[in-house]
Amino acid sequence: MTDKPPFPGMNPYSEHPALWPEIHHGAISSLMRVLNPQITPKYRAALDQRVYMDTLLVGIPESTVTQQSLSTEALIPASALRSAVVSIPERVTVPMLEEVTERYLEIREIKTQRVITVVELLSPKNKRSGEGRKQYLRKRQSLLNSQTHLVEIDLLRAGVPMPVEGGNKSDYQILVSRAQERPGAERYPFNLQDPIPCFLLPLQPGDEEPIIDLAQLIVQASEEAAIDLAIDYTQPPTPALSAEHAAWLKNL
């Protein structure tokens, strides 16, 4: 392992599917802890979760089919010696069901228990075909049809982005959909080479809106989980970078 490069914003190595769940959980939990001192006693930031069954991806074959000679001398009399050619099977993975838990944050008004704002940090399953994306898109549309604000944070380069109309193509994005402004929304696009932007968390009209320093939350989550100790910075990150980003990383 080598020292961590000085990334200006997102660390692409943290997007590895094996590491991202720790970042996800840590960042959402940290956001809850940061917000509550600022929004209480009128509001409370609370963790919630959705649980569903989804399939693991079918594995890529680990080898090609080859052949070898297998002597059957030990199985039949010497007078009937013969050789058989047996194919070596390739190794694959079959789909298996797994229970998935995805955590998100709700800002609730204490007096009425009404959910004012939902904060979602996307996971890889939300951005690829399957039950995870179906579940999330259903919830997303339900929120967009309601009087609840939605903050949707996408810090994953891989997969299919969530649908929006307009805007520039980018590696990452933060979408702030205020109920009173729909179908319009605020979008913060940024790329691997850019700092992670700060944004205002929407509450009810007249309330002071907290500034969310997402970069600090991600750094804190990474440090608390000691993510750097699980990363070999001499190797290319997963998911793979584009040729342009790979050259930029090499120079960095």
Mean pLDDT of all residues in the chain?
Answer: 88
Maximum Cα interatomic distance, the chain, rounded to a whole number of Å: 97
CA distances from 219 to 1, 4, 13, 104, 225 (A): 19, 12, 13, 18, 10
Return the closest-CA partner of residue 221 out of 196, 192, 191.
Answer: 196
Task: Kindly state the DSSP code that residue 3 receives in the 8-state scheme.
Answer: P
Give φ, ψ of 145 to 5 degrees.
Answer: -90, 5
How confident is the model over 95-107, as pLDDT tens digits?
Answer: 788 888 899 999 9
CA distances from 135 to 87, 101, 102, 164, 229 (A): 43, 12, 11, 18, 33
Peptide bond into 183 cis (omega under 30): yes
The model's pTM is 0.83
Determine, yes or no, domain membership for 129. yes
Determine, yes or no, domain membership for 69. no
Count of structural domains, the chain = 1
Determine, yes or no, domain membership for 182. yes
Determine, yes or no, domain membership for 181. yes
- What's the pLDDT at 86? 79
Determine, yes or no, domain membership for 175. yes
Res 185 pLDDT > 80 = yes
Tell me the percentage of the chain whose pLDDT exceeds 90.
76
Determine, yes or no, domain membership for 28. yes
Q: What is the DSSP code string of 182-213? A: TT--EEEEE-TTSPPPPEEPP-STTSPPPEE-
Determine, yes or no, domain membership for 51. yes
Domain that holds residue 208: 12-58+98-251
Res 205 pLDDT > 80 = yes
- The one-letter amino acid code at 47 reads L
How confident is the model over 54-113, as pLDDT tens digits?
Answer: 876 543 333 333 344 444 444 455 555 456 677 899 988 887 888 888 999 999 999 999
Res 157 pLDDT > 50 = yes
Res 51 pLDDT > 90 = no
- What's the pLDDT at 54? 83
CA dist., res. 131 & res. 54, Å (int) = 6
Determine, yes or no, domain membership for 72. no
